[in-house]
Homo-oligomer: A and B are copies of this chain.
Amino acid sequence: MKYEYTIGQVAKSAGCKVQTIRYYEQIGLLPNPIRSEGNQRLYSNRDVHRLSFIRHARDLGFPLQAVRDLISISDSPDHACEAADEIAETQLKDVRARIQRLQALEKELSRMLDHCHGGKASDCLVLETLSDHSLCVTEDHKNPA
């Protein structure tokens, strides 16, 4: 196995910061890489691949713990697909819940702004609405998301 990439090159190809890679190493998400004579980290293609797996999962909004689980699944020889499935499904539910919540927020915010644009500065509906929760149309945003 060739170890040919510096941390900077790897960071660039993964679209993340150098510190992020060191952070992943520190928390055990990436293995300790070998070092050059001058004590600089050297990465193989395999390492690069793992990092891109992590970044992709993170881009998809998976929390680090889920990424950890996904890695251990994909590392295990029998690839327990159902477990990976379940993690992805949990994540999907979470994403959908967040979308719902954000849409409720959007509704309330734009309602607030619509009214305010029409009114005078003296009776700013933005501030009034914020002051008085009872003016809310939607109460959905109180739900966890």
Contact = CB atoms under 8 A, between A and B. Distances in A.
Contact of A92 (B56, B87, B113, B129): B113
Contacts of A34: none
Contacts of A124: 79, 81, 84-85
A102 B127 CA distance: 29
Nearest to A67: B130
Q: Is the interface of A mostly helix, strand, loop or mixed?
A: helix
Interface string A104-145: 011011101100110001101011011101001000011000
Nearest to A97: B102
Given A99-B102, A99-B103, A127 B73 contact: yes
Interface of A: 15, 49, 52-53, 55-57, 59-61, 70, 73-74, 79-82, 84-85, 87-89, 91-92, 95-96, 98-99, 102-103, 105-106, 108-110, 112-113, 116-117, 121-122, 124, 126-127, 129-131, 133, 136, 141-142
